[in-house]
Amino acid sequence: MSLLATTLRRTGRRFVSSLPALFGVLVFTFLLMRVLPGDPAVFFASGA
């Protein structure tokens, strides 16, 4: 197998294995924004 094919396969595996972690961070952030009081847009716009 060529070096390019090996590198692409390894990169693909790492990308696919990182998807659950990315999904977890996305869900955590979404739930955090839903639970916190107030409007997130106002909070971030105020520079706090």
pLDDT tens readout for residues 10-41: 999 999 999 999 999 999 999 988 898 888 78
Pick the closest to residue 48 from 39, 29, 30 (CA basis).
39
- The residue among 47 and 15 whose pLDDT is bigger is 15
- With vertex at residue 19, the alpha carbon angle to CA 37 and CA 31, rounded to the nearest 5 degrees, is 10
Pick the closest to residue 40 from 23, 3, 24, 48 (CA basis).
48
Count the alpha carbons within 13 Å of 27 in the hemisphere toward its beta carbon. 6
Residue 48 pLDDT > 70: no
Domain spans in the chain, listed from the N-terminal domain onward: 19-48
